Each structure stands twice: as structure tokens, then as C-alpha cells.
Amino acid sequence: MHAKPHVTPKDGGQANTEQKEKKPKFEPYKGKKRKPGTGYLKQISKNCWQGRYTPTVNGKRTPMNVYAPTEEECEAKLAELIAKMKAETGKG
């Protein structure tokens, strides 16, 4: 009786290990720094977000705040505030 020769797969036997490993779910990275002139967002409690914009008017920095229950709403309110302030100061 002849013994069957051992045959290895062409990929070196890694096909089975790759199938067993699950790839992690992709989640985009959201950076912590924002571009200058776009304001600031912060979660101050479980259901309250603060948006802050500090324009320089006549050489003085004037902080302006908006509040909303969700990050998306706060982002929208902050964009409106920035547009309003830029229209008033003529920078934009």
C-alpha cells in the first residue's frame, strides 16, 4: 500500500483562517479639531449640546452660545449664528 502524499493548498492553508476571522465594522473617525471660524460643539449633559462661537468685533472677543437637545440641531443653530454674525460684522 502506498500512502497518499500530503497536498497543501496553493494559498498555504490560510484560506480557512481568513474565513474564520471577521473584519471589524468600519466606523469613520471624527476629528476633535474644527477649522477656524466654525465654532465649537460640546455635550454638556446627556441631552443638551452647546455650540459656541467667539467673533472679534471692534477688537473685542464676544462669546455667543446656542443650545440644543441633539448634536445635529446644535450644529444647525451654530451655522445660523455664524452666518448672522458674519453678516452683521461684514466678514463673510
Q: Is residue 85 part of a domain?
A: yes
> Identity (one letter) of the amino acid at 91?
K
Inside any domain, residue 48: yes
Q: Report strand pairing: 64-68 vs 48-53.
A: antiparallel
Of the candidates 84, 72, 78, which has an alpha carbon nearest to the alpha carbon of residue 53?
A: 78
Q: Does residue 90 lie in a domain region? A: yes
Answer yes or no: is 24 within a domain. Answer: no
Q: What share of the chain is helix, strand, coil (3-state, %, to 5)?
A: 25, 25, 50
- Measured CA to CA, the distance from residue 54 to residue 34 in angstroms comes to 14
pLDDT digit string (tens) for 32-75? Answer: 777 677 788 989 999 999 999 888 878 888 888 999 999 999 99
Domain count along the chain? 1
Reply yes or no on whether the pLDDT at 28 is more than 90. no
Domain membership of residue 8 (yes or no) is no
**What is the domain extent for residue 41?**
36-92
Judge contact between 64 and 55, C-beta under 8 A: yes
pLDDT at 90 over 70: yes
Q: Is residue 92 part of a domain?
A: yes
